[in-house]
Amino acid sequence: MSALDGKRILVSAGPTFEDIDPVRFIGNRSSGRMGFAIAEAAIARGAQVVLVAGPVHLATPTGAQRIDVRSAAQMHDAVLSALPADIYIGTAAVADFTPRAVAGHKLKKVPGQDTLVLELVKTADILADVATATQRPRLVVGFAAETNDVETYARGKLAAKRIDMIAANRVGIAGCGFESDDNTLDVIWADGQRRLGPESKRVVAEGLLDLIEERISIA
Ligand code: C5P
């Protein structure tokens, strides 16, 4: 039997969209496929999965409880309200900044004005808040999308966000990460690390769940 059987696993997936005005937003290239693959693989191991999804074009894995959100603030509320959970896996590409105010009308070009200054404010860090919540899951897993110095940044995040494991993927190279069917992850925890892939996101998801099972059994 899987160590995840009967466990409540909370997964966040996809991008967030931060509205600028009624027709425009700031988004990112996350497809949500990695998170959905993890949700599917966890359900197959008998877990009870709550999937908090940003705006994605993906079918709900059979058996998942899906909560759709749009913005980082909505994702923050949905994730924290879904606690307690045994495990949190934050795969979502959450916006780090959001417009200070959403314009009530479509922003217009002004004749003679060649620049537009948009003021952005920092969003709340969902992963860090889950890791320090009173109802902290036993295992908190984050993702890190990096273009360079993947391991250094990932180890930094592990400590800064007080999480147990981080799955770092290199973005910006062909055939990996965002918008791709395949992925390669460098999974890092306090006293170890393992590379998963390049493989399909489902195979990488199974490898990540194997590592999570190992950590859960030790903890
Ligand atoms: O620091 P960085 O944004 O690169 O960290 C990525 C990890 O943090 C991902 O697991 C992502 O889901 C999470 N995150 C979050 N809330 C934010 C920003 C990132 O949960 N506001």
Query: What pLDDT score was predicted for residue 218?
Result: 77
130 Cα nearest atom in ligand 1:
20
pLDDT along the chain (219 residues), means of 10: 96 98 96 97 98 98 98 98 98 98 94 95 98 98 89 91 93 64 91 94 97 89
Indicate whether 132 belongs to any domain.
yes
How far is it, in rounded angstroms, from Cα 113 to Cα 99? 20
Query: What pLDDT score was predicted for residue 172?
Result: 67
**Residue 85 CA to ligand 1 centre (angstroms):** 18
**Residue 19 CA to ligand 1 centre (angstroms):** 19
Instruction: State which residues form the domain around 206.
Output: 8-99+110-218
Tokens of 63: 């058996």
Indicate whether 138 belongs to any domain.
yes
Q: What is the CATH number of the domain that holds 25?
A: 3.40.50.10300
Indicate whether 41 belongs to any domain.
yes
Closest residue by CA, ligand 1 atom 13: 127
Indicate whether 33 belongs to any domain.
yes
Closest residue by CA, ligand 1 atom 5: 144
Indicate whether 104 belongs to any domain.
no
Query: What pLDDT score was predicted for residue 182?
Result: 86
Closest residue by CA, ligand 1 atom 19: 94
Indicate whether 105 belongs to any domain.
no
Residues with CB under 6 A from ligand 1: 12, 72, 90, 92, 94, 96, 123, 125-127, 142-144, 157
**Residue 153 CA to ligand 1 centre (angstroms):** 12
Long-range contacts for 196-202 (Cβ within 8 Å, ≥24 apart)? 196/167, 200/37, 201/33, 201/34, 201/37, 202/37, 202/40, 202/41
Indicate whether 152 belongs to any domain.
yes
Indicate whether 91 belongs to any domain.
yes
Q: Is the peptide bond before 137 cis (omega within 30 degrees of 0)?
A: no
Alpha carbon separation from 30 to 46, 58, 159, 171, 177 (Å, rounded): 27, 12, 24, 10, 8
157 Cα nearest atom in ligand 1:
1
Write out the catalytic residue numbers: 28
Contact 100, 117 (CB under 8 A): no
> How many folded domains does the chain comprise?
1
Q: What is the dihedral of CA 177, 178, 179, 182, to 10 degrees?
A: 10
